[in-house]
C-alpha cells in the first residue's frame, strides 16, 4: 500500500489534542431546543462543575427556551444566560418572559452571530439544523472558540471557508456527530501517515429491508419513525434516505482530509459501532458504545477526554453479535449523489444540500413523495454546474439558487 496523501488540509487536529479548558467550560448553545441542545443542558445540570451555559439560541419555541433557562437556574447558574430567537414574533414574546428578557439579544441573524462570538465563552456547541449553521460557525471560528460541531452543513456548504476561519482565529473544531466523534477518538494522537481509510456506519434507517416498490408507497409518518435515534424531523428524513450519511461522508472529507476513495460507508443496524479507522498495517480500530449523544458531546466539551458519565454500559455478552452490510445505491441514491457532489467540489455540495433541504421541507409539508427527494436533488445538480467558492457570498448565492431550482422542480415536476 503506497503512502496516503491527504487530498486537503484536515480541519480536525489529527496528531494533537486541543488544550484543556479551565472548568467549568463556558458554553454557548446554538439550537438549544433541539436534541443536541437539550442534551447539552442535561450535561450542564448533571455536571455544573464542568459545564456552564452562558448563552442559548432557539428558533421560535419561546416556552421551551424559557424552561431550559429555568432548569439552568435550578442547577446553579450564576447569571442569566444571553438568549436570542430566530423570528421577530417569537422575540417579541420573549420580551414578556421574565427569564428571557433579562439578557435578550437581537433576533435573527444578528443575534445568532453575536451569540456565536459571545465574550467570555470558551466553547460553542452548534446544534443548528441546515445551512443556517454556517455563518455562526464562521463567527465562532474567527473569535477563536472551541467549536463542538453537530451542524454538518457548515462543512458541506462552507468547508474551505470554515478551514480558513479556524486558522485565522486559532479555533479548534471537535465533531459531535457520533460517527465523526468516533473517528476522532480512533485517530487521537495518531500520525496522519498511519491512516489508510475511514468507515462511517449507518443504521440503514426505517426502510433498510424494503424493496424499491415498497419504498414508493411509504408515508410521511413512516419516514419519521427512526429505528434507533430520537432526532428532529429534518435529520430523521435524511436518515431514511441515507442523505445524512452522504453529508457525513463530505463532512469526513473536510474534517480528516482523506480523498473520497478512502471514505467508506457500511450499514450497521445495531448502531453499536459508531465508526471505524483502518490503518496502513491492516489494523482496524472502532469506537463502540450504546447510542447516547451525550457521550460525543461531553467528549468535545471536555477537550477530548473521557470524563465520568452516567450512561448505559455496553455488555458484549448480551449484545452477542454485530451485523454489517453494504448500502444499496439503487434503493438509496442520495448516498451516491452526495459522493458525486463531494468529488465535483465547489458549489456542487451546496447545491446538494440546498436542494435536499427544500425537498425535505416539501415532504414534511406532504407535497413531495419520499422517493422523489433524490430526483429533485439530481435535477438540481444537473441544472447547476459546479463552480468555485471563494467567499461567504458565493456560498450563500449558490445556496439560494439551489433552493430556487429545487422548489421549481417540486412545484412543476414532482410535487403533489
* Relative orientation angle of helices 233-241 and 243-256, to the nearest 10 degrees: 90
| Residue count of the chain | 416
- What integer pLDDT is reported at residue 416 of this predicted model? 58
Which residues belong to CATH 3.40.50.720 in the chain?
25-176
Which residues belong to CATH 1.10.1740.10 in the chain?
345-414
User: Three-state SS across the chain?
Assistant: CCCCCCCCCCCCCCCCCCCCCCCCEEEEEECCCCHHHHHHHHHHHHCCCCEEEEEEEECCCHHHHHHHHHHHHHCCCCCCCEEEECCHHHHHHHHCCCCHHHHECCCHHHHHHHHHCCCCCCEEEECCCCHHHHHHHHHHHHCCCEEEECCCHHHHHHHHHHHHHHHHHCCEEEECCHHHHHHHHHHCCCCHHHEEEEEEEECCCCCCCCCHHHHCCCCHHHHCCCCCCCCCHHHHHHHHHCHHHHHHHHHHHHHHCCCHHHEEEEECCCCCEEEEEEECCCCEEEEECCCCCHHHHHHHHCCCCCCCCCCCCCCHHHHCCCCCECCCCCCCHHHHHHHHHHHHCCCHHHHHHHHHHHHHHHHHCCCCCCCHHHHHHHHHHHHCCCCCCCCHHHHHHHHHHHHHHHHHHHHHHHCC
Residue 95, exposed/middle/buried by CB under 10 A (0-12, 13-18, 19+)? exposed
| pLDDT mean values, one per 10 residues, the chain (416 residues) | 56 85 94 94 93 95 96 86 95 94 96 96 95 96 97 95 96 95 93 95 92 92 78 88 96 96 96 96 96 94 90 92 94 97 97 97 94 97 96 96 97 78
Phi, psi (deg, nearest 5) at residue 360: -65, -40
Measured distance CA(173)–CA(161) in Å, rounded: 13
Give the number of other CB atoms < 10 A from CB of residue 313.
6
CATH of 345-414, one of 1.25.40.10, 1.10.1740.10, 3.40.50.970, 3.40.50.300: 1.10.1740.10
Measured distance CA(334)–CA(249) in Å, rounded: 12
Distances (CA, A) of 50 to 3, 20, 22, 180: 41, 12, 9, 23
Measured distance CA(2)–CA(351) in Å, rounded: 34
Asked, as a colleague might, if the bond just before 279 is cis with ω within 30 of 0, I would say no
Asked if residues 244 and 238 have their Cβ atoms less than 8 Å apart, the reply is: yes
Q: What sign for the dihedral angle of Cα 173, 174, 180, 185? A: positive
User: The domain at 25-176 falls in which architecture?
Assistant: 3-Layer(aba) Sandwich (3.40)
Amino acid at each position: 500500500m503506497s503512502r496516503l496523501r491527504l487530498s486537503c488540509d484536515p480541519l480536525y487536529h489529527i496528531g494533537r489534542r486541543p488544550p484543556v479548558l479551565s472548568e467549568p467550560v463556558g458554553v454557548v448553545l446554538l439550537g438549544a431546543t433541539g436534541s443536541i441542545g437539550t442534551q447539552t443542558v442535561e450535561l450542564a445540570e448533571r455536571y455544573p462543575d464542568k459545564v456552564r451555559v452562558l448563552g442559548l439560541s432557539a428558533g421560535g419555541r419561546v416556552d421551551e427556551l424559557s424552561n431550559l433557562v429555568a432548569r439552568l437556574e435550578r442547577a446553579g447558574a450564576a447569571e442569566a444566560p444571553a438568549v436570542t430567537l430566530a423570528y421577530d414574533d417569537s422575540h417579541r414574546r420573549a420580551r414578556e418572559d421574565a427569564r428571557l428578557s433579562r439578557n435578550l439579544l437581537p433576533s435573527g441573524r444578528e443575534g445568532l452571530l453575536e451569540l456565536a462570538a459571545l465574550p467570555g465563552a470558551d466553547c460553542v456547541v452548534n446544534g443548528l439544523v441546515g445551512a443556517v449553521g454556517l455563518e455562526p460557525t464562521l463567527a465562532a471560528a474567527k473569535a477563536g472558540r472551541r467549536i463542538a460541531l453537530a451542524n454538518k452543513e457548515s462543512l458541506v456548504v462552507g468547508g474551505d471557508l470554515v478551514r480558513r476561519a479556524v486558522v485565522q482565529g486559532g479555533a479548534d473544531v471537535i465533531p459531535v456527530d457520533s460517527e465523526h466523534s468516533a473517528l476522532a477518538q480512533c485517530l487521537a494522537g495518531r500520525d496522519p501517515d498511519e491512516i489508510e481509510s475511514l468507515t462511517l456506519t449507518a443504521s440503514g434507517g426505517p426502510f433498510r429491508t424494503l424493496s424499491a416498490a415498497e419504498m414508493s408507497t411509504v408515508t410521511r409518518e413512516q419516514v419519521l419513525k427512526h429505528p434507533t435515534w430520537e432526532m428532529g424531523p429534518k435529520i430523521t428524513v435524511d436518515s431514511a434516505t441515507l442523505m445524512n450519511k452522504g453529508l457525513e461522508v463530505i463532512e469526513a472529507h473536510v474534517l480528516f482530509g482523506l480523498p473520497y476513495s478512502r471514505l467508506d460507508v457500511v450499514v450497521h443496524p445495531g448502531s453499536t459501532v459508531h465508526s471505524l479507522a483502518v490503518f496502513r498495517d491492516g489494523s482496524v480500530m472502532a469506537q463502540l458504545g450504546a447510542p447516547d449523544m451525550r457521550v460525543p458531546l461531553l467528549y468535545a466539551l471536555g477537550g477530548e477526554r473521557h470524563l465520568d458519565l452516567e450512561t448505559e454500559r455496553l455488555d458484549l455478552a448480551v449484545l452477542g453479535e454485530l451485523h454489517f452490510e453494504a448500502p444499496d445505491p439503487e434503493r438509496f441514491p442520495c448516498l451516491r449523489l452526495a459522493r458525486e457532489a463531494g468529488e465535483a467540489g465547489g458549489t456542487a455540495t451546496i447545491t446538494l444540500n440546498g436542494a435536499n433541504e427544500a425537498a425535505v421541507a416539501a415532504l414534511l409539508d406532504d407535497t413531495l413523495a419520499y422517493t422523489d427527494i433524490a430526483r429533485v436533488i439530481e435535477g438540481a445538480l444537473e441544472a447547476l454546474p459546479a463552480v468555485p467558492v471563494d467567499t461567504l457570498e458565493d456560498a450563500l448565492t449558490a445556496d439560494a439558487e439551489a433552493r430556487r431550482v429545487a422548489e421549481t422542480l417540486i412545484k412543476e415536476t414532482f410535487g403533489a
